[in-house]
Structures are given as structure tokens and as C-alpha cells.
Amino acid sequence: MNIVVLLGAPGSGKGTVASRLAVRLPARHVASGDLLRAAARGEATPATRKAAAAMRQGALVPDRIVDALMREQFEGCAPDAWLLLDGYPRSTVQAATLDATVAQLSGKVRRTVFLDVPE
């Protein structure tokens, strides 16, 4: 599994870039926001149920739950699969978890791209 992380401020174009690249490359766009919205719709995995419960309470979804949502996306990926991450990681703690998770699954973060656009 090969990971490309897209970082940038809200509205910088991470989702647009990832969705366009996913069409042109053999890559899958994985957006943390989409995963959280799916959880709110009631799509049932252990991590989505926990995320939905936090959102129903009006709380931020804890890092450990977002990490679990992302891990669900990584598990079962083919060794040569490419994933474009949009909106994850959002913190240094999540970045460390990403590195550890990807290493456990014999993958690698190949690139990190920071989209720096003027306000």
C-alpha cells in the first residue's frame, strides 16, 4: 500500500486535487470528512458507530476513532494500491499513528504534498 498525503488549509483544494488525481491515476481518494459523513448516515462498522455516537453528542470525534476509521480503509488494500489521503492526518498525533499503522500493514507514506494557497 502506497500513501500520498494531501495537506492544506480548509478550502485549499485538497479534495479537488485528490478527486482529479484519483481519476487520472490508479489511486483511491480517501477523505476523512466523507468517512465521518458516512458514519453520521449510520453505515455500520465498529469505528463508524463510535464516530456517530460522538457526533450525535455534538462532540468532536476523538483522534483514536478517526484513526480507526482510516485503518478500516487501509486494511485489505492490495500491496500495490495507492491511496490519496485528504483531511488526514490533522495533527502530529494522527501523523504518528498513520506512520505506525501503515508500517504495520507493510505500506509506506510515499509523498506528502502541502497545498499552500493565498487567502
Rounded CA separation 105/73 (Å): 12
pTM: predicted TM-score of the whole model, two decimal places: 0.88
**Which of 32, 28, 44 shows the shortest CA–CA distance to 69?**
32
State pLDDT tens for residues 39-81. 888 767 888 888 888 888 888 888 998 999 999 999 989 999 9
